[in-house]
Structure 1
Amino acid sequence: MRPKKLYRIWQIPPLSFFSRLLYRDIALRWQGVAFGYLLLLLALCWIPGAIRIHRSFAFFVDEEAPLVIEQVPEITIINGQAFIDQPQPYTIYDPDTGEALLVIDTSGTITSLEQTDARGLVTARQAIFQKNAIETRSFSFETVDRYTLNQEKITRWLDISKTWAAPVLYPLCILGSFTYRIVQALLYACIGLLIANLCKGKLPFDALLRLSVIAITPAIIIGTLFDAAAVSLPLEGLWFFLLSMGYLLFGIRASVGNGGPTFQFERPHLTARKLNNE
């Protein structure tokens, strides 16, 4: 039976920066793989990001989008064919750069994006958008019986999106980040097997996985602070990797102690005695 753990989950973030005893406690006394802690940490660290996303999108909807929307003519689609009551080709421009954003030509004069510098094209039968430098996406009007797109509808859609952008994107960001961090922790735990062997200690994989989660905590917190302050670090990924590896080594050395090659993780009463003496 494992002795009672010394630290609570809320103590991990600050102590992960310096506490040798925390890493030892996580490895020798905690159970599981610490993914619950990781999820909670990411949920907290994504709050500033969600607020920033909401503010940025709200600024776009309130300040930037209206300058584009006011250029959009009413587009009517009847039996799969689009019409506008404007001279054609009709071009919508970026108000800041003057770049062509969208060309509307239902007359057949322009039929492909190659004939224009715009990022999108609406013809009588389809809408074509440039996804990247080499790929485009097209959407056919063939199945549309009757529909009218106007400035009021676009504004209403954006207002709804502004309300729900943060609540929808926040859990998606957490899920994506959580998946990435799990894979990262698994890879680091594999590296930890080698480090533990070099330290002449013995730790099971679940303990190394817990240590890996704690070892990436400082990088997650620092990254969150950098994002909140809009600070960009050159080669950021490399520095955070080295930082996490340093903490993983620190945690493994703290866990195996000075036991040398005879150290055995399976003797918790001995490690508990050492912990109590520290």
Structure 2
Amino acid sequence: MKTEKQYHIWQIPPLAFFSRALYRDVALRWRGVAFGYLLLLLALCWIPGAIRIHRSFAFFVDEEAPLVIEQIPDITIIDGQAFVDLPQPYTIHDPETEEALVVIDTTGTITSLEQTDARGLVTARQVVFKKNAIETRAFSFETISRYTLDQGKIYDWLDIAKTWAAPMLYPLCTLGSFAYRIVQVLLYACIGLLLAILCKGKLPFDALLRMSVVAITPAIIIGTLLDAAAVEVPLAWLWFFLLAMGYLLFGIRAAIGGGDSNFKFESANDPTQPRSP
């Protein structure tokens, strides 16, 4: 006969910090692997991050980007060739460091990035940017019949990006962290098998998966609060790992030493157990 669980997912975040009964309940009475709870937790914890991304990008668009955009001249491309109506070579600088960002030269005086310290170069036929210290990327104008790039269009693009950056990045960040956490709890559950043996007990892998999800909950919450407060902790990954391992061991000992000695783990393959409709 199935034993009903005593706790629900909304109780996990606060109780995961201290409750032996929660860990025991998750191990002995819950079913599945608790990935639904994990996704919900991450979705909630990424909300402050999305707000922070929006504010940071909005500050960049409103305060920092205009200092560079105001230096950009109108660039007209006709039949794959760029034209700029000002003396060249023309350099766009970083407003703070005065470092050369982009050189514009459609006259042919400068034809490669090796001739300048700038990160980008606009010639009559292409634009070239440094991807890193050893690699560059080039984009040809040959497929463009007629186009004019001006400051107004750049501001329009940035306004659109400012509006949609956070809504677009939020689900990507949530799903990306979800995939990472799944791999993490799978590894932690494997470690849990060894910890259970050290505790002179044995737990099914799915129970260890559930407990691993609960065990990383404090680290996720603390990490979210630290990020929201803009507090950086040296070697945070190591402290969070040790914290999760401590809670996993705490949960394993609770399940092995504090549970009902007559309790029998349910198995999805056990024909004697009733199946959910």
Q: TM-score with structure 2 length normalisation?
A: 0.92
Q: Which residue of 2 aligns with 1:233?
A: 233
Deviations 1:217-254 (A, max 9, x none): 10000000110111000111111111111111111111
Q: Which residue of 1 aligns with 2:68?
A: 68
Q: Which runs of 4+ in 1 moved over 6 A?
A: none
The answer (yes or no) to whether the contact 1:202–1:264 under 8 Å persists in 2 is: no
Q: Which residue of 1 aligns with 2:18?
A: 18
The answer (yes or no) to whether the contact 2:2–2:266 under 8 Å persists in 1 is: no
Which residue identity is paired with 1:66? P
Q: Which residue of 2 aligns with 1:41?
A: 41
Deviations 1:34-69 (A, max 9, x none): 111001100110111100100011111111111111
Q: Which residue of 2 aligns with 1:242?
A: 242
Q: Residues 245 and 265 (structure 1 numbering): CA distance in 2 closer, same or farther, change over 3 Å?
A: farther
1:192 aligns with 2:192: yes
Give distance in 1, aligned partners of 2:240 and 2:173.
Answer: 20
Alpha-carbon deviation of 1:266?
Answer: 3.0
Give distance in 2, aligned partners of 1:95 and 1:33.
Answer: 52
The answer (yes or no) to whether the contact 2:212–2:248 under 8 Å persists in 1 is: yes
Give distance in 2, aligned partners of 1:235 and 1:69.
Answer: 38
Q: Residues 52 and 143 (structure 1 numbering): CA distance in 2 closer, same or farther, change over 3 Å?
A: same
Aligned runs of 1:247-258 on 2, under 5 Å?
Answer: 247-257=247-257
Aligned runs of 1:98-117 on 2, under 5 Å?
Answer: 98-117=98-117
Q: Which residue of 2 aligns with 1:172?
A: 172
1:266 aligns with 2:265: yes
The answer (yes or no) to whether the contact 1:80–1:141 under 8 Å persists in 2 is: yes
Q: Which residue of 1 aligns with 2:206?
A: 206
Q: Residues 258 and 54 (structure 1 numbering): CA distance in 2 closer, same or farther, change over 3 Å?
A: closer
Q: Which residue of 2 aligns with 1:272?
A: none
The answer (yes or no) to whether the contact 1:129–1:138 under 8 Å persists in 2 is: yes
1:217 aligns with 2:217: yes
1:159 aligns with 2:159: yes
For structure 2, the residue ranges without an aligned partner over 5 or more in a row are 268-277
The answer (yes or no) to whether the contact 1:15–1:22 under 8 Å persists in 2 is: yes
Over aligned residues, Cα RMSD in angstroms?
1.6
Alpha-carbon deviation of 1:127?
Answer: 1.0
Give distance in 2, aligned partners of 1:267 and 1:93.
Answer: 67
For structure 1, the residue ranges without an aligned partner over 5 or more in a row are 269-278
Give distance in 2, aligned partners of 1:258 and 1:228.
Answer: 37
Which residue identity is paired with 2:244? S
Give distance in 2, aligned partners of 1:210 and 1:267.
Answer: 14
Alpha-carbon deviation of 1:206?
Answer: 0.8
Q: TM-score with structure 1 length normalisation?
A: 0.92
Give distance in 1, aligned partners of 2:49 and 2:266.
Answer: 44
User: What is the percent sequence identity of the aligned residues?
Assistant: 80
Which residue identity is paired with 1:130? K
* 67-76 or 194-203, which deviates more: 194-203
